[in-house]
Chains A and B, each alone.
With several copies, the nearest count.
Chain A
Amino acid sequence: MASLAEKRVVDAEEPSVDPQARPEELRLLEALLFASTEPLDQAALAKKMPDGVDIKVALAQLQADYASRGVNLVRVANKWTFRTAGDLAWLMTRESTETRRLSRAAIEMLAIIAYHQPVTRAEIEDIRGVITSKGTLDVLLETGWIRPRGRRKTPGRPLTFGTTEAFLSQFSLEALGDLPGLEELKGTGLLDSRLPGGFSVPTPSDDPTLREDEDPLEIGDLELALAPAVEPETGEGS
């Protein structure tokens, strides 16, 4: 292994080399096209070839050589270059996970969806007393912890949101009913015990059965709402 390049030279000198070896110009073309920082045109390649080489024939042969390989010789704007085979484009991705903390707004919204589901965006805003940005909702959808579950039978037919199974597993809840209720929240000190009498915390339920005031989602609703969270592996499919 001392020297790969030396090895190569030695190999070439050995008599064992196939007399039917590929024409040298194919090696030259290969090397030139591989190392070039940009596609090369025929004239530029021809200049580097030994005399008497039919560059067209050589390029055609090289193209055929690589046709079935993972790398193809392609012609772009009349210039030649090696490119990853089209069907392998999916390989040219690198995946990484980055840990992201949810913003406070997103956590608040998530909490309201969890307790008040099925709930529309307008209802969430009403509870929070703040307009929610579209971005916050998108981030929440990206987490996979919430999902649009239907449409409210009111003017405008707004989407209703609920939590998913991923939500339960993220927060280690066996069921949504395990979310603490009013008395428990008071007991842990999270809620002030002197809250006015009318104050209540709903008993949350993520029962997927639509409520009476809900219509089912329509085709396209899911796509719309879940657009950002497409997994690449499933995306490259074919």
Chain B
Amino acid sequence: MSAEILSFETGRPAELAADDEPSLVVDVEGYEGPLDLLLALARQQKVDLHKISILALADQYLVFIEAARKIRLELAADYLVMAAWLAYLKSRLLLPEPATPDGPSAEEMATALANRLRRLEAIREAANRLMNRPQLQRDIFPRGDPESIAEIKHPKFTATLFDLLTAYAAQRQQRVLATVHLARRTVWSLSEARASLERLVGMAEDWSRLDEYLLNYVVDPSQKATVFASSFAAALELVREGEVELHQKEAFAPLYFRKRPPQASDAITAPDLPVE
């Protein structure tokens, strides 16, 4: 096989090196990496990739890289890596295989490279065919004005018996507890108290206990406070007007009252105190 490669190889590098091949020398930018460049070079061998001479291809590549460097084209590192690898492969292909090869043989390496090129070429061919298919919105079109589909939503309601019972119990109960019968507050007004006291004063010629009177008067214990407060206030009023006299022995002791006697003014200093 190597003999065949060698014979095939002759002449090609010279041809490539010629300056009248501008596409090779200048247009590095046009290639998508070293593999792409190799494939382009391989195509120039004008043979099926199955029969490609990797040795010739390596030479072509190396010549190309040399040419590019001569005109000081900046080459990406991977182009140079590929060049180095191809130079190595070339030397391996030209030398007889060592007796105990470590790693792949030169032939295997060459075949692998050829396969990579074939694979790239195949996928490009496939890409081509794919892109040439009639494409949506370029060659073929869907309905331009599709009719709207009305969406009808059927609601499915969820609720459990527990929800239902809880809701029912809670709100019935809440209603019952919330219905506070605000009993009309019975307040003994000042005028009521005064009217009562005035009536009472007529009866009480002697000292009488105000609270005794109150206790007699009040039926409902809850009304005690309001009656007491109003009567006291009314009593003070009557004292101020001179109708009534009030007496208390000490703080919180029982309050006594009586109708003011006609000449009460002198009696104030020494009142005849009621007997306990």
Contacts and interface: CB of A to CB of B under 8 A. Distances in A.
The reply, when asked whether chain A contacts chain B directly with Cβ atoms under 8 A, is: yes
Interface of A: 3, 5-6, 31, 34-39, 81-86, 88-89, 92-102, 104-105, 107-108, 110-112, 114-115, 127-131, 139, 142-143, 145, 169-173, 179-182, 185, 188, 190-192, 195-197, 199, 201, 232-234, 237-238
A72 B119 CA distance: 36
B112 interface: yes
A229 to B, nearest CB: 9
A93 B78 CA distance: 43
Given A95-B152, A96-B152, 8 more contacts: A81-B145, A108-B127, A115-B126, A171-B159, A172-B136, A180-B129, A237-B137, A237-B142
Contacts, number: 263
A200 B186 CA distance: 32
Interface string B117-159: 0111011111101110111111111111111111111111111
Interface in B138-183: 138-161, 163-173, 175-178
A233 B134 CA distance: 16
Interface of B: 32-36, 38, 78, 112, 115-116, 118-120, 122-127, 129-131, 133-161, 163-173, 175-178
Contact of B146 (A37, A105, A108, A131): A37
A128 B33 contact: yes
A24 B141 CA distance: 18
- Label chain B's interface by main secondary structure: helix
5 contacts: A89-B134, A112-B123, A128-B36, A128-B175, A171-B159
A145 B132 CA distance: 16
A85 B139 CA distance: 9
Given A89-B138, A92-B141, A96-B151, A111 B165 contact: yes
B171 to A, nearest CB: 5
